[in-house]
Structure 1
Amino acid sequence: MLSDFKSQFIEISKAITPIILVILIIHFLFIPDFSISNALVLILGSLMVTLGIALFLVGVNVGLIPIGNAIGSDIPRSGSIVIILMTTFFLGFLATIAEPNVRVLADMIQIVSENSIERLQFIMVISVGGGFFIATSIFRIIYNVPLAYLFSSGYLLVLLLLFFAPPDYVPIAFDAGGVTIGSINGPIFLAMGIGVTSILGGRSAISDGFGLIGLASLGSVISILIMGIVAL
C-alpha cells in the first residue's frame, strides 16, 4: 500500500506542479500585492490537495474497485434477473447519492433557482436515473444487447423530451449528466461491469464490461428533463 501511495503521489505531483508554477508566475507578474506569504499558502494548499488525491486513489484501488468486482461477480450467481436488477439499481442509486459532484451541482442549482428546485429532490431524481440505467447496463451485459441500441434509443428519447421540457431545465439536465459519474461511483460501476463480464463465458471485458458510465450519465439527463416536464 505504501508503494502504491508513493507512485500515486509522484504522478499527481507531476500533473499539479506545472499548474502551480504557471499560477505563481502569473500572480508575481500581474498582481503587485501578491506576497511571499500568499505564495506559501498556495504551495501548502497544493501539497494538501496532492496528499488528499493520492490517499483517495489508494482507497479507490484498495477498497472501491474490489468491492465493485466482488458485487459484479457475485450477483449473477443468484440466478434471478429480478434480484440482479434490483441490487444493481439500489447500488447505483446509493452510490450516486454519495457522489460529491452531484451534491455540488445540487447546491448551485438551489442557490441559482432561489429554492424553486430543491437540493434533495434534485439529488434523488439524478440518482434514480443513474440507478435505473446502471441496472439497464447490467441487463445489457447479461443478455448481450448491443450497446448501440441503448444509446441510440436513449438519445432519441432525449431529443423527444427536449420538445416538452422547460428551457431552464435543458442546460441543467446536460450538466447533471456530466457530474453524475465521479470519483466515488465511477470506479464502482466500472468494476461491477467488469465483474459481471468475468463470470459470463465467451464475453469480452472491453466490449461488454464498459458503457455503464455513458448510460448512467444519459439516465441523469433523461430524469432531469422528465422532472422539468412534471414541474410544468
Structure 2
Amino acid sequence: MLGDIKDTVFEIVQAVLPVTIVVIILQFSLISMPMDVFLHFLAGTVMVTIGLILFMLGIKIGLLPLGETVGAEIPKWGSAVIVIAIAFILGFAVTVAEPDVRILADQVEFVSQGDISKSILIFMVALGVGIFVGLAMLRIILGIPLAYLLGAGYVFVLLLSFIVPSNFVPIAFDAGGVTTGPLTVPFILALGIGVASVLGGKSTLGDSFGLIGLASIGPVIAVMLLGVILQ
C-alpha cells in the first residue's frame, strides 16, 4: 500500500511539474500575467496534484479490482445475454460519471445557447458507450475479429457524416474522444480483462484490449443520430 502511494505521488508530480515549470518560466520572461492570476494558477496546480494523487489511488484500490472482479464473475452465470446486459449497464453508468463527458456537455450547451441540452448529450454519449461495450463483450464471446467491427463502425460513421447537420460532426468526434477519460478507460479495460480471463480458448491479451477503441465509436454514432433527430 505504501509503495503504491509513493509510486502514485511520484508519477503525478512527474506529470504536473514540467508544465508548472514552463508556465513559471514564461511568467517571468514573456507573459507577465497579473500576479493574482499567477497565484491562482499555483494554487490550482497544488489542488490538481493532490486531486490526481487521490484519484489515481482510488482507481488502483477500488475501480480496477472491481472491474476485473465483475468481469470475471458474470461469464460464470452461463448466459451471453446477461454478460452483454451488465456490460451495457456498467458502460452507461461509468460514462455518465465521466468528468470529461460532463465538461464537453457543459461547453456544448453554453456555445449552442441551450439548443443542445447538456442532459440529452450526456445520455446519448453514455448510450453509445453502453451499446458498444456490450458489443465488445459479444466480440469476446464469439471471437469476432476486432478489425471487422472497427471497420464496419467507422464506415457507418463516415456515411452518417454526410447526412447529419455539419455542426454535429465535430461534436460527435469530440464525444468519442472524451469517453477515453480517466474514469471510463480503466474500468472498461478491467472489465474486459476479467471477462476474457475466464473464457476458455480465448486469448486474454488479444481480447482484453481494443475495447476502448471500439467503445469510442458508440458516442460518435449516437451524437450524429441525435443531430439527425434534432435537425
Measured against the shorter chain, the TM-score band is: over 0.9
Instruction: For 2:47 and 2:13, locate their aligned partners in 1 and report how far apart those are by CA, in whole Å.
Output: 11
Q: Label 1:22 to 1:127 Cα distance change in 2 as closer, same or farther (>3 A).
A: same
Q: Label 1:32 to 1:43 Cα distance change in 2 as closer, same or farther (>3 A).
A: closer
Runs of 4+ aligned residues of structure 1 deviating over 6 Å after TM superposition are none
**So what's the TM-score if we normalise by structure 2?**
0.95
Q: In the alignment, residue 58 of structure 1 is paired with which amino acid?
A: L
Match of 1:149 in 2: 148
Map 1:13-162; keep pairs closer than 5 Å: 13-32=13-32, 34-35=34-35, 41-162=40-161
SS at match of 2:213: helix
SS at match of 1:114: coil
Query: Is 1:195 matched up with 2:199?
Result: no
**CA-to-aligned-CA distance 1:39-86 (integer Å, 9 cap, x gap):** 555444322221211111111011000110011111111111211111
Match of 1:10 in 2: 10
SS at match of 1:219: helix
User: 8 Å contact 2:80–2:141 — kept in the other structure?
Assistant: no
The size of the alignment, in residue pairs, is 231
User: 8 Å contact 2:26–2:32 — kept in the other structure?
Assistant: no
Moved more, 202-211 or 102-111: 202-211
Instruction: Please tell me the root mean square deviation across aligned C-alpha atoms, in Å.
Output: 1.5
Identical aligned pairs, as a percentage? 45
Task: Please report how far the alpha carbon of residue 122 of structure 1 lies from its aligned counterpart in structure 2 after TM superposition.
Answer: 0.5
User: 8 Å contact 1:99–1:181 — kept in the other structure?
Assistant: no
**So what's the TM-score if we normalise by structure 1?**
0.94
Q: In the alignment, residue 64 of structure 2 is paired with which amino acid?
A: I
User: 8 Å contact 1:96–1:181 — kept in the other structure?
Assistant: no
Match of 1:219 in 2: 218
Instruction: For 1:134 and 1:60, locate their aligned partners in 2 and report how far apart those are by CA, in whole Å.
Output: 19
User: 8 Å contact 1:5–1:55 — kept in the other structure?
Assistant: no
Q: Label 1:103 to 1:124 Cα distance change in 2 as closer, same or farther (>3 A).
A: same
Instruction: For 1:9 and 1:204, locate their aligned partners in 2 and report how far apart those are by CA, in whole Å.
Output: 34
User: 8 Å contact 1:127–1:220 — kept in the other structure?
Assistant: yes
Instruction: For 2:149 and 2:157, locate their aligned partners in 1 and report how far apart those are by CA, in whole Å.
Output: 12
Q: In the alignment, residue 25 of structure 1 is paired with which amino acid?
A: I
Instruction: For 2:158 and 2:218, locate their aligned partners in 1 and report how far apart those are by CA, in whole Å.
Output: 13
User: 8 Å contact 2:105–2:121 — kept in the other structure?
Assistant: yes
Q: Label 1:99 to 1:32 Cα distance change in 2 as closer, same or farther (>3 A).
A: closer
User: 8 Å contact 1:27–1:34 — kept in the other structure?
Assistant: no
Q: In the alignment, residue 67 of structure 2 is paired with which amino acid?
A: G
Q: In the alignment, residue 27 of structure 2 is paired with which amino acid?
A: H
